[in-house]
Amino acid sequence: MTSSTSAGSTIGLVLAAPATFDAAGYAALSFTLVNGVESIPAFGAQVPVNQFQPLAGPVEKHKGPPNYGSLQVPMALDDADAGQILLRAAAEPDNNAQYSFCVTYPTGAKRYFRGRVFGFQETPGSATNVLMGTSTVEINTKIIRAPAP
């Protein structure tokens, strides 16, 4: 296996749910790409450690319920970009819809999941900054991994 940089990675979303919650079901959807994305942070399932300390014996540790994570996606603000328009609409307080997301790596590998957008903040910054937006996506499903073709 060879390593790769992240350059060229993309993220896209669509309001529709896949017919089946597998790679083939997600691949049938038409995702709208979000342009101007600066980075895609770490995401994926984590589980808390649930502990019990009996009076006699070692600490017992068990896996708690999974939390599939969240994304704070920074991007150069573009009011005309279709993906950013969709993210802003998804972030509206009265929009509780789940969206389907696709992260595509430069290798062609894809990661699919469902989630809700909980925010879209704008950062004007200083005179030497690019106008930025940051979208907060909370992931609600298992991450479906599709290998590179």
**What is the pTM assigned to this prediction?**
0.91
Q: Quick one: pLDDT band at residue 40, thresholds 50, 70, 90?
A: very high
76 three-class SS:
strand
Beta bridge partners of 67: 46
> Count of residues for the chain?
149
| For the chain, percent of residues with pLDDT exceeding 70 | 99
Q: Domain-by-domain residue ranges, the chain? A: 10-47+65-146
Of 10, 46, 6, nearest to 31 (Cα)?
10
| Closest to 6 (Cα-Cα) out of 43, 31, 60, 47 | 43
DSSP character at residue 62: E
Q: In one letter, which amino acid is 102? A: C
Tell me which CATH code domain 10-47+65-146 carries.
Answer: 2.30.110
pLDDT, one tens digit per residue, over 105-149 is 999 999 999 999 999 999 998 888 899 999 999 999 999 999 998
Structure tokens, 30: 């038409």
